[in-house]
Structure 1
Amino acid sequence: MTFTNRSLTRRNLFTATAALSATALVGGTAHATGATRHSWPTRLQLPGGWRPEGITLGHGPHAYVGSLAHGDLYRVSLATGRGRVVPTGLGSAHPTAGLKSDRYGRLFVSGATSGELRTVDARTGEVERIVPVGGAFVNDVILTPGAAWFTDSFKAVLYRLELGPRNVPGEAVTVPLGGDWEQGTDFTGNGIARTPDGSALLVVNAFADGGRLMRVDPRTGLARAVDLGDARIPNGDGILLLGRTLYVVQQFQNRVDVFRLNAAGTRGSLVTVIQHEGFRIPTAAAAWGDRLYLPNARFDVAEPTADTDYDVVAVAQI
């Protein structure tokens, strides 16, 4: 679909919700534990009407999938496909977009139109802390040593949540984005990761020059477009870095663009494109063993109901 179709669908999502989207080192989404068992399911069913956006992986192994509808989390086994709702939802005014887990059993949650950041005990589902930052659509999150970083799709800013020992959250700081950053009138900032050398942040900008990947200095907020040759990411959503390989989920294109980056994350080249018959507008990716797991957001469904079918699909890594 075109960027306009995606824009209109997401604008409807933004309006409706107001009325009522790494590696193990930086978020627990990649686990180099050897090849995934081929008997594990390649489709994980979610509850009806779930409206997923983000995904993160925990030990077990299992996935946590957030809900834009009511903010709940669904914990599902990668080995069996069986799952249960973790009682973290605060209602439709507090949706869950992007999320990441850490090694201490804590989940970091992007609050979408609630304009807040949240931390959740992954074992009990208890909301530990709510941090209002005045965001318009807090979209995605990545963990770095000492901080959790969140994007805002409608503001040219990042939110830095300071982390103490054992990742105990502290104060939140708003970091304005400058340099090459261009803010559109619709969804702009989206997925976030670290550069391979850990020196900077990588952030999707779905507006600038037809969709660019930006390298952001975490100290200043200065953004510079990453040189990806002729490649553009107009529907770029969640991103996942494994080593120097960057997976960019292109939602409405129903594909994942795979790039090979240099260490500093200043340039890269398109290696291949992953397409799969099970993609129904995927929005994020997490990795376990030799697989990627992607939730299907189905943003093309104009009016989701309590019976609308949602799932997570598993595909082979490149």
Structure 2
Amino acid sequence: MTSIHCKIAILLCMIIIQSERWRKLRNIVQWTPFFQTYKKQRYPWIQLAGHQGNFKAGPDQGTILKKLCPQEEMCFQLLMKDILRPFVPEYKGQVTCEDGELYLQLQDLLSDFDCPCVMDCKIGVRTYLEEELAKAKEKTKLRKDMYEKMIQIDPKAPSEEEHRSKGVTKPRYMIWRETISSTATLGFRIDGVKKADGTSSKDFKTTKTREQIVEAFKDFTSSFPNSVPRYLERLKSIRATVQESHFFRTHELIGSSLLFVHDKRRASVWMIDFAKTVPVPEAVNIDHNSAWKVGNHEDGYLIGLNNLISIFETLAKDAEPPRDSYTTLSLDIDSNVRQDRLAT
């Protein structure tokens, strides 16, 4: 072997060794606690909403992939042409991943935030479609798993007969589940919260009263009270826009959420999760603000939104500084300045 061949062989060996070293280093970096924590904090609403396994990092900066649901994709296609577009994640098309699974490429709503606080609120007076309830009623077998979930939350919830049989039907469980939270009373419920320090909680199953909800939102915004007026403004904008939206007028929004996000600099709210959003049947009109009865397809979206706005108005009022002499003086000076300008 010539000296040139020896040098080439040595160089190739060095490249292979360096590549192997980099592969090992990359694996170490990917599995360090810091990197894993970063990935978990990057997409905290995944854990909050219970969608583990449905999301992946997007191929482009500022995007995220959500496992394809044809109904949700149809909704996003319509929303991109609707006046609600500024209030939902931007839909950027369909992506096929290396595993062959299809995903929706969506705007990463957290990309502009630094260590954000996140809250997922499920909105509406029910989280199941009428068709789901009808199918469940066709097969009224007793479910032991649902009975066990029920007694874990409230041992007194099942009837004597249900206790004896140690089972409840799915329709019974579905309807009961909505009554233990603020879903039935206020038209929304808190599904989960993740704070800037990384702590999170989904322990809101029995958070039901307005007072309990107010305290939860106070705790959520305590690190950045300036987020309250920004959230209030955004919620009012959403309400004004949905009332003019063709999409909103013609669809029943079930299991949809409002995602609250804030950090030390900004705060915003988005409408998310449209897998159970379906067109209202022909010849049926809904106002999203009436009580639900089987067959009328009302979802109570505006009931929840109006209650959220009322709660944030309370929070904003509580956060207002007292009107002291300094405030009065400032107003008087400002008034005098305006009068002087008018006089000139």
TM-score range for the pair, normalised by the shorter chain length = under 0.3
The structure with the larger Rg is 2
Answer 1 or 2: which has greater helix percent.
2
Structure with greater strand percent:
1
